[in-house]
Structure 1
Amino acid sequence: MSPRRRTPVSPRPKALPAALAGLLARLTPLGEVKARAMFGGHGIYLDGQIFGIAAGERIFFKIDDTTRPRYEAKGMAVFRPY
């Protein structure tokens, strides 16, 4: 009888969805852009700070009172997770 493996095997990372991989490639000139799996989607980070969420084929960017009017002028809706 062979002994069972006692050390855990790290799961192989899943490939990013094509739309998200394309977005990350376009954002590379801004700095170190990464995506981390979270809540069934992916958090999008620039230099370690989250600035967006990708869920399915949709991408939501974090905005504030300064940037909100520009998004609203383009007809973009506010992200509501509920």
Structure 2
Amino acid sequence: MAASETAGVVRVFQLHRDRDVTGYSGTGVVADGVIWPDGAVSMRWRGPVRTTVEAACLADIQTIHGHDGATRVVLGAVITGGAAWTAA
């Protein structure tokens, strides 16, 4: 995904691991993430040790954590700007 800003659109995703090649994360949904309007990505690992990862783009997440197809990105909802993003 290119790092170009898209008028206030945020997209959520999950990492689904079909095979645990490292023996650490397990299988199923192993992380949740957000793709920001500029293409940058924030991702939070599930499991006993939870860390947050920042990346320049979703392709970087796939390259680093995809394990040659053992883990896939599943895209979720598109969240547009507006009332949901205004201060209370």
TM-score by length of 2: 0.29
Larger Rg: 1
Greater share of residues in helix: 1
Length-normalised TM-score, structure 1? 0.30
